Structure 1
Amino acid sequence: MNRFSSEKIAVGISSCLLGQEVRYDGGHKQSRFCRQELAEYFDFEPNCPEMAIGLGSPRKSIRLVKQQDLISLQASDGSFDVTQKMLDYTQHRLPQLGHLSGYIVCAKSPSCGMERVSVYSPSTNNAAKEGVGLFTAELIKAYPLLPIEEDGRLNDPILRENFVNRVFAFHQWQVLAEQGLTVAALQAFHAKYKYLLMAHHPEKYRKLGPLVANIQGPHDKQGFDNYIKAFMEILRHNCSRKNHTNVLQHLQGYFKRDLSSQQRSELSERIHQYREGILPLLVPISLIQHYLREHPKQYLAQQAYLSPHPDKLKLRYSL
């Protein structure tokens, strides 16, 4: 089965990022990357918590306010408080989102922001960028494994690829879980993601092996839960050039008996040039894929590392 089949992956998104005019000023924050590129593979499910609780657009802006240890959601002029409305809405809405494989939220929003949202002091009216949007905070609590990212951070090529990697990997796990988890299925899944996990965090990857070995059987729910929790934690780490280079050298080893000395030298040079920042990751990856077509190796061909997401997204062009 093609991992990148015509069936799209369900991903939640702040409505304004798809161009819907739902912001407090009646405008939007359309993301070209989301709407024009990711939309080919993601079935976006838009949501605007502020519209959902009846605030309308345009509307008075709202903000997070901290009083002692409590965070509330209030109008910027203090004329109303919608904290309880937002909490009631999240309690109703979140149980409906268990099918999602990822979520993209609007940065700096007091309802949707993922990090560094301004939190105001009612006494001084000063703000500290230390908050999380009220809806997103509850989303993270309800679905701690769900890949979540902000639109602004997706402009960073490393963070962009990291998020897309996590969405596709988490979706594969969800498909596996729906089919029924078995020890054999887990072992195959773990083998497929070996080198991608190594690229993200080799030390933590090595600790995953014992988790797989200790699964007691298909009814060991805690064992499977422990595995996917550790798996997704590894993918949260950004890949480094050092880790990518290490993985590329491992992959190179599969061809040591197949390639001529000139070909081996060329591949080594491309890997070195990537390590030095002269070439993007795509170059040595493409060369390895070329040699893999000439010298098929089943274990290597199944590795998610070589194609963790559709090539058409061009996410490795600038890594």
Structure 2
Amino acid sequence: MQLAIGISACLLGQKVRYDGGHKASDFCLTQLQPFVRYQAVCPENAIGLGTPRPPIRLLKKSHGDIHLVQVKDASRDYTQAMLDYTDQVLPTMEQLSGFVVCAKSPSCGMERVRLFTEEGHQLGKAGVGLFTRELMQRYPWLPVEEDGRLHDTELRESFITRIFACHDYQQLCRSGFSVGALVAFHSRYKFLIMAHSPSAYRELGRLVAQARLFEPGALKQRYLLDLMHALKQPCSRKTHANVLQHLQGFFKKHLTAKERQELSSLIDRFRVGHLPLMAPLTLLQHHLTRFEHPYLAAQTYLQPYPEALGLRG
């Protein structure tokens, strides 16, 4: 089953924005598109707002509630219509493995959306688009990212790593969730989790070790939520180097002293910033082809997403 991703329709070049334009994302339309199936959504069009249309914004009422209103006429309130729409459409999105939303949008923005008082004063960029707020509340495990943030190489790789891991886990659940299947899944993800968060690596390990104490449905959701939270933590050269050294340990009985020194040197030079990650990884992959090791070969860390995406430096 192809990986399914939700996306704000304007990011696919659809002319659905309030001004009749679009915000086509080059990354989504070129690099990512061959690997995913998009489910395009324009919440504003979906609740009956045409194109073009008067702009809308987020308004914070005196009692604290956030409303979605027309900029020039705050009495034109679309809050309930948007909430009714999310109640209707979000239950159909459980199969999604991620969502790319349009930045700054009062309906789709993930963060830093402009927020206003009833008197028209700005409260700063403190809001979340109404549709995306409801999406993230309903599916707290779902990888969600804004188009603009995908220009950042670390944020882009984090998002792509999470959507492929989420899809992998969803495939596991569809084929029949069990404690044994979870143990096998976690075994493949150990080093990837360690690279993102050593503390989460320990916590998820304890969760899997105590898996039989949980009700299956609760365990299934808890693991996914914790996994997505772990993979959202940024990797560092230090955590990558730690994982690389663990992987090197599996070859200590096979490599010559010179080969061990060569690999250690590459890892050290990567750690201090003199080499990209692919330098020690490529040598590890080379040794893996020389000396078969099924446990290592199955590690997602070695290739967390298709190589053709070209995200690892």
Same fold (TM over 0.5): yes
Which residue of structure 2 aligns with residue 70 of structure 1?
Answer: 65
Hey, which bits of structure 1, 4+ residues long, moved more than 3 A?
A: none
Aligned in 2, Cα 1:143/1:100: closer, same or farther, shift over 3 Å? Answer: same
- Across the two proteins, how many residue pairs are aligned to each other? 311
Which residue of structure 1 aligns with residue 38 of structure 2?
Answer: 44
Distance in 1 (alpha carbons) for counterparts of 2:174 and 2:2: 16
1:186 maps onto 2:215 in alignment: no
Q: Which moved more, 1:91-100 or 1:256-265?
A: 256-265
In the alignment, residue 70 of structure 1 is paired with which amino acid?
D
Distance in 1 (alpha carbons) for counterparts of 2:271 and 2:60: 46
1:249 maps onto 2:206 in alignment: no
CA contact (8 A) 1:23 1:58 kept: yes
Distance in 2 (alpha carbons) for counterparts of 1:289 and 1:232: 26
What SS is found at the alignment partner of 1:166?
helix
CA contact (8 A) 1:181 1:218 kept: no
Which residue of structure 2 aligns with residue 114 of structure 1?
Answer: 110
Question: 77, 102, 105: which is aligned to 2:101?
Answer: 105
Distance in 2 (alpha carbons) for counterparts of 1:201 and 1:30: 33
How far 1:219 sits from its partner (Å)?
5.7
Distance in 1 (alpha carbons) for counterparts of 2:127 and 2:236: 28
Which residue of structure 2 aligns with residue 34 of structure 1?
Answer: 28
1:20 maps onto 2:20 in alignment: no
Which residue of structure 1 aligns with residue 51 of structure 2?
Answer: 57
- Measured on the aligned residues, the alpha-carbon RMSD in Å equals 1.4
Q: Give % identity.
A: 51
1:148 maps onto 2:144 in alignment: yes
Which residue of structure 1 aligns with residue 211 of structure 2?
Answer: 215
What SS is found at the alignment partner of 1:112?
coil
1:158 maps onto 2:154 in alignment: yes
Superimposed CA distance per residue, residues 58-78 of structure 1 (whole angstroms, 9 cap, x where no aligned partner): 111110011121101111112
TM-score, normalised to structure 1, is 0.94
Question: 274, 282, 289: which is aligned to 2:270?
Answer: 274
How far 1:221 sits from its partner (Å)?
2.3
CA contact (8 A) 1:105 1:149 kept: yes
Distance in 1 (alpha carbons) for counterparts of 2:214 and 2:122: 54
Distance in 1 (alpha carbons) for counterparts of 2:77 and 2:136: 23
Distance in 2 (alpha carbons) for counterparts of 1:98 and 1:118: 29
Superimposed CA distance per residue, residues 288-317 of structure 1 (whole angstroms, 9 cap, x where no aligned partner): 111101111111000000000000101112
Distance in 1 (alpha carbons) for counterparts of 2:49 and 2:222: 41
What SS is found at the alignment partner of 2:211?
coil
Which residue of structure 2 aligns with residue 197 of structure 1?
Answer: 193
In the alignment, residue 73 of structure 2 is paired with which amino acid?
G
How far 1:95 sits from its partner (Å)?
0.8
How far 1:211 sits from its partner (Å)?
1.4
1:295 maps onto 2:285 in alignment: no
How far 1:90 sits from its partner (Å)?
0.8
Q: Which moved more, 1:99-108 or 1:264-273?
A: 264-273
How far 1:260 sits from its partner (Å)?
2.1
1:235 maps onto 2:231 in alignment: yes
How far 1:223 sits from its partner (Å)?
2.7
Distance in 2 (alpha carbons) for counterparts of 1:259 and 1:67: 67
Distance in 1 (alpha carbons) for counterparts of 2:51 and 2:120: 29
Mapping of 1:120-139 within 5 angstroms?
120-139=116-135
Gaps in structure 2 of 5+ consecutive residues: none
Distance in 1 (alpha carbons) for counterparts of 2:21 and 2:220: 44
Superimposed CA distance per residue, residues 191-231 of structure 1 (whole angstroms, 9 cap, x where no aligned partner): 00000000011112112222112222896322333222222
Q: Which moved more, 1:175-184 or 1:228-237?
A: 228-237
Aligned in 2, Cα 1:86/1:290: closer, same or farther, shift over 3 Å? Answer: same
TM-score, normalised to structure 2, is 0.96
In the alignment, residue 72 of structure 1 is paired with which amino acid?
H
CA contact (8 A) 2:178 2:216 kept: no
In the alignment, residue 21 of structure 1 is paired with which amino acid?
K
Which residue of structure 2 aligns with residue 4 of structure 1?
Answer: none
Distance in 1 (alpha carbons) for counterparts of 2:48 and 2:39: 19
